[in-house]
Amino acid sequence: MKTEILMPSLSPTMEEGSLAKWYVSPGDNVKPGDIIADIETDKALMEYESIEEGTIVELVVKEGTENIKVNSLIAIIETEGGEGVKDENNVVTKKDEVLDINKSEEVLSAEEEVRSVTANLKDEKTIKQEVNQNESISELTVREAINSAIAEEMRHNEDVFLMGEEVGEYQGAYKVSQGLLEEFGSDRVIDTPITEHGFTGLAIGAAFAGIRPIVEFMTFNFAMQALDQIINSAAKTNYMSGGQINCPIVFRGPNGAAARVAAQHSQDFASLYASIPGLKVIQPFSAEDAKGLLKAAIRENNPVIFLENEILYGKSFQANISSNLVIPIGKAKTVSTGDDVTIISYGIGMMHTLEADKKLKELGINAEIIDLRTIRPIDFDTIIDSVKKTNRCITVEESFPVCSIGSYVGSQIMIRAFDYLDAPVLNCTGKDVPMPYAENLEKAALITSDEIVFSVKQVLYKD
């Protein structure tokens, strides 16, 4: 009988990938465990093993095809016996669908080409060309933005170096550091042992001695092991030394929930770090902000916590990719203006907020949306000016509700603009539970655009 081989998912967040290489041809016999293909995403390259025994009948997707959706048909294998005999017509139908996708990709090929110019991080020449452009608007993923910010600052200052787990030879656990080892060498792109407490302390000591580390945490969950060094050593020494020993260091990496990785790998640490004097805390949403703010963070003479997000890494934005773009720390961005309500968010909260904004527009509600970008120090001038105009405000973030950024922002609005408020400030946050694994429970634990719409209606006293 004929069995379908489908595009595999290499990670919980993978939606599509490329077929980099076929190791088999029609007519080849394969056994379970035989490598049949290389599947590549913007994060990783993985060998794909057959789970069937049989003969390859057809390779539906050609080698080199990009943007193949997870679970779409890539090959057909003739197997013996077993259950669930596939209808040949069905297979053909699916094959047609795949071909249709390929066709639509051809239509989009011009756009794709533009994207691939910025996307191809392996091509150093391409990056250098980008760097030489000023005020150049292009499509950029958050991953590319962070990568180019690091590369540009390392070119700019030889005291800047990158260290962390898998940043070098592996090219980054999330491919953020791809190509950096090749350009800067192993003296400046340093693979560390799995030893967060130790390498964080070591990097802080190096910063005390005058060089400028960028420490990548594979995720910020692992930085919990290093919290003493971050808070007691990095954040406090400038003060404790009466200003003699400062700590120019950036701690960066993915933060917050990814997808289906459960409680120990899904947490937004923004409010925890934001409570510590001596630290600066950034959580960007867009690619341009990620790049401009990371460059500012690397030039900063104080410890900066730079909170990225795995789900946003692959998201594309129109961005100014000029190497001169440095966005000042501590400035919020008013993403869209409106008179009815102020929505304050940051990081991936902005993604839900923008989605909610579409629904609000359909309801005739004009929201003013503020992306905080920097969580410490918070730009209260921008917040208060907006609230004085709209008289209503909600906050949106993915973190836990207790001692959240939203609760602090709400209290400050109460103190600074009490007489301007026509409704209490509401906080949309993640739920007050450890992140569950099951798909439905995880979804329920996170914020949704519907919850944001609901909260906006509440502060507007609308049904």
Summary count for the chain: helices (H), strands (E) = 16, 22
Choice from 50, 238, 342, 404 touching another protein (CB under 8 A): 238
CB-based contact 290:144 (threshold 8 Å): no
Quick check: 277 binds another protein (CB under 8 A)? Answer: yes
- Rounded to 5, what percent of the chain is helix, strand, coil? 40, 20, 40
Angle between helices 349-362 and 449-459 (to 10 degrees): 60
Helices within 71-179 (DSSP H only): 88-107, 109-119, 124-131, 142-156
Does the footprint of another protein cover residue 278 (CB under 8 A)?
A: yes
> For this structure, is 156 an active site residue?
no
In the set 11, 232, 334, 366, which binds another protein (CB under 8 A)? Answer: 232
| Shortest distance, position 246 Cβ to another protein, whole Å | 4
Of 176-184, 191-199, 365-373, 395-403, the segment contacting another protein by CB under 8 A is: 191-199
Residue 229 engages another protein in binding (rule: CB under 8 A): yes
List 152, 265, 398, 442, catalytic entry: 265
* Residue 36: φ, ψ to 5°: -105, -25
Q: Which stretch binds another protein (CB under 8 A): 108-116, 203-211, 361-369, 416-424?
A: 203-211
Helix (H) or strand (E) holding 199: helix 196-208
229/395 with CB nearer another protein: 229
Contact flag: residue 25 with another protein (CB under 8 A): no
DSSP β-ladder status, 54-59 and 68-69: unpaired
Among 100, 182, 228, 439, binds another protein (CB under 8 A): 228
* DSSP-assigned letters across all residues of 363-379: TT--EEEEE--EEES--
Token pair for 376:
């410490």
- Residue 196 annotated in active site: yes
Asked if 202 interacts with another protein (CB under 8 A), we say yes
Please tell me whether residue 47 adopts helix, strand or coil conformation: strand
Question: Binding segment for another protein among 40-48, 176-184, 242-250, 415-423 (CB under 8 A)?
Answer: 242-250
What spatial distance separates the first Cα and last Cα of the chain, rounded to whole Å?
A: 57
Contact window for another protein (CB under 8 A) among 24-32, 64-72, 224-232, 388-396:
224-232
For the beta carbon of residue 258, count every other beta carbon within 10 angstroms.
21
Q: Which of 246, 255, 267, 374 binds another protein (CB under 8 A)?
A: 246
Catalytic position from the list 130, 139, 152, 196: 196
Least separation in angstroms between CB 306 and another protein: 16
Q: State the catalytic residues.
A: 196, 265
Instruction: Please give the residue ranges that form the binding site for another protein (CB under 8 A).
Output: 161, 187, 192-193, 195, 197-211, 228-229, 232-233, 237-248, 277-278, 280, 301-302
